[in-house]
Amino acid sequence: MSRDRASRRWPVIVTILIALMLMMIPLPNWAESFRPDWVMLILIYWAMMLPRTWSVGYAWIIGIVLDVAQGTLLGQHAVALCFIVFITVRFNLLLRVFPVSQLTATVFVLLALYQFLLFWINGVAGVTAPAIDYWAPVISGTVIWPAAYMFLSGVRYRARSRA
Amino acid sequence: MVASRSNSSNPARIPALGVRVLSLIFLGIILMVLDHRENHLNTVRKTIGTAVYPLRVLVDTPFRTWEWVRETTTARNTLQLENSHLRTQRLLTNARLQRLTALEAENAHLRDLLEARAQVRDEVRVAEIMAVDANPYRHNIVIGSGDLEGVYDGQAIIDADGVVGQVIRTDRHTAQAVLISDPGHALPVEVNRNGLRTIAVGTGELDRLDLPFLPNNADIQRGDLLVTSGMGGVFPTGYPVAVVDSINRIPHEPFADVTATPEAALDKVREIMLIFSTDAAADSTSDADE
């Protein structure tokens, strides 16, 4: 059982580290606003598929790391990620039977809610940013979701068949 | 396996999810308040920042390697051309430096006559910007030197042409800096031509600074060079910041609408210089002691 657990944990850790790196990779100026919320996308997937192992606690810790990496208010991404992962875990049974199109629509709503939380916290803390910084990642994240979903499913099945 | 899967897909069996999420969000809010009010959490940030460092290096490495490959594969004649170009440039700079030594001596002499305090010489050290993106809502950069190299909060950063920004946060190996173009950044400047003092505020665009506090009758012209005035106590005096590029005097408004273009290539710099001014370093350590 413990070996099984460990083998299920590695793909998740590696994909999350890759997502953190994708958040840091420099993009040209025009594309910067359109950087998808990689960490959020990947956490949504794993929270949906393995809700018992990857739940709100991990989302919170990863959010703190993201806050430090990006220099935002400490706890901002932690709270936002934590809340979205909570919703995902709460409805994971429902989400798992959704066809991809419907799931993508749900992810759009989740990403919009995530950006709204960040926007709200920024507003309270007095950080102003152009509106494009908030809605552009929602759109790019939704567009990228089906591909990310396929990729992560591939990772998951391969990891399971190897275990 | 089957049993564990059916377990994992039963949301009711995830123990106390609501309680956990509420307490975590509450903890997050406490963290945010502490972080926003005072910088109580600097040690936490530094510890986690050190853990993030390997990731930053991983992100930065391909860019660095690419640069190295490009440098090592540059054709011989290109190098020769560049070399001769640099040589001429050095000659010109040296010629200007000769005058500078004389001027500095004269300046010191005049200051002596006026019984003014002698100007401190700033020590400058080269550092590299890491190819890592920081805060999405701010114009921030990550520098590849940190506490270990003696970088401190509030340190001024310049490039070959002018002021770039200032350090806002340091950890062991890296530091974060805010650019002068950040909308939350204001920089005390003076017009080099006549010593008129004002404040240059970032606009969020890399190639534009705002000068919002100049009255309509202020003596300012297009092409005026703005240099740091040293009034804020962060930046040392006399570094070029920006050139005034548009002045719009609006008769019924108290202030003119003046914008300037930064001298430093804010979006292109890779190598920057950290200014270790002895006064500021002493100040920041005494701040830390308090």
Do the chains contact at A79 and B176, CB–CB below 8 Å? no
Å between B124 CA and nearest CA of chain A = 26
Å between B122 CA and nearest CA of chain A = 29
Q: pLDDT category, B117, cuts 50, 70, 90?
A: low
The whole-number pLDDT of residue B173 equals 84
- What is B186-262's CATH topology? Thrombin, subunit H (2.40.10)
Best probe of the A interface among B26, B41, B137, by most A CBs < 10 A, is B137
Residues B53-77: tens digit of each pLDDT: 888 888 888 888 888 888 888 778 8
Measure the CA–CA gap between B249 and B289, rounded to whole angstroms: 47
> Token pair of B33, please?
């308040």
CA B262 to chain centre: 13
Partner-chain residue, chosen from B21, B58, B135, that has the shortest CB–CB distance to A86: B21
The whole-number pLDDT of residue A43 equals 92
- A-facing residues of B in 139-198 (CB < 8 A) are 140, 168-169, 176, 183-184
Residues B123-158: tens digit of each pLDDT: 888 888 887 777 777 788 888 888 888 888 888 888
Q: Does B22 touch chain A (CB under 8 A)?
A: no
Partner-chain residue, chosen from B21, B31, B206, that has the shortest CB–CB distance to A74: B31
Q: Which DSSP string do the residues of chain A spell out, in sequence order?
A: -HHHHHHHHHHHHHHHHHHHHHHHS---HHHHTT---HHHHHHHHHHHH-TTTS-HHHHHHHHHHHHHHHT--TTHHHHHHHHHHHHHHHTHHHHHHS-HHHHHHHHHHHHHHHHHHHHHHHHHHT----THHHHHHHHHHHHHHHHHHHHHHHHHHHHHHH-
> Token pair of A63, please?
């959010």
Query: Residue ranges of the domains in chain A?
Result: 2-162
Do the chains contact at A4 and B140, CB–CB below 8 Å? no
* Model-level ipTM above the cut of 0.85: no
Average pLDDT, chain A: 85
Which secondary-structure segment (H or E) carries B158?
strand B156-158
Alpha carbons within 13 A on the beta-carbon side of A158: 9
Q: Does B131 touch chain A (CB under 8 A)?
A: yes
Averaged pLDDT for residues B210-232: 86
- A-facing residues of B in 71-100 (CB < 8 A) are none
Residues B240-290: tens digit of each pLDDT: 899 999 888 888 888 888 999 988 888 777 788 888 876 544 444 434 333
Q: Which chain A residues are closer than 8 Å to B7 by Cβ?
A: 52
In the beta sheet, which residues pair with residue B248? Answer: B257
**Shortest CA distance from B9: residue in chain A:** A93
The whole-number pLDDT of residue B87 equals 93
Best probe of the A interface among B5, B133, B141, by most A CBs < 10 A, is B133
Question: What is the arrangement of strands in the sheet containing B123-128, beginning at the earlier edge strand?
Answer: B123-128, B271-276, B156-158, B163-170, B175-179, B140-143
Exposure class string for A66-83: b at 16+ Cβ within 10 A, else e: bbbbbbbbbbbbbbbbbb
Q: How many CB atoms lie within 10 A of CB B211?
A: 23
Q: Which chain A residues are closer than 8 Å to B34 by Cβ?
A: 74
The whole-number pLDDT of residue B113 equals 81
Averaged pLDDT for residues B172-184: 86
Question: Which CATH code is given to the segment(s) A2-162?
Answer: 1.10.1760
Residues A91-137: tens digit of each pLDDT: 888 888 888 888 999 999 999 999 999 888 888 887 777 777 788 88
Tokens 């939704």 locate to: A142
**Shortest CA distance from B170: residue in chain A:** A71
Measure the CA–CA gap between B26 and A116, rounded to whole angstroms: 18
Partner-chain residue, chosen from B31, B34, B132, that has the shortest CB–CB distance to A26: B132
Residues of chain A with pLDDT under 70: 1-8, 162-163
Q: Which chain B residues are closer than 8 Å to A61 by Cβ?
A: none
The answer to pTM > 0.95 is no
Q: What is the DSSP letter of B74?
A: -
Query: Residue ranges of the domains in chain B?
Result: 2-62, 74-119, 186-262
Q: Which chain A residues are closer than 8 Å to B8 by Cβ?
A: 50-53
Residues B88-101: tens digit of each pLDDT: 999 988 888 888 88
Do the chains contact at B55 and A75, CB–CB below 8 Å? no
Do the chains contact at A25 and B133, CB–CB below 8 Å? yes
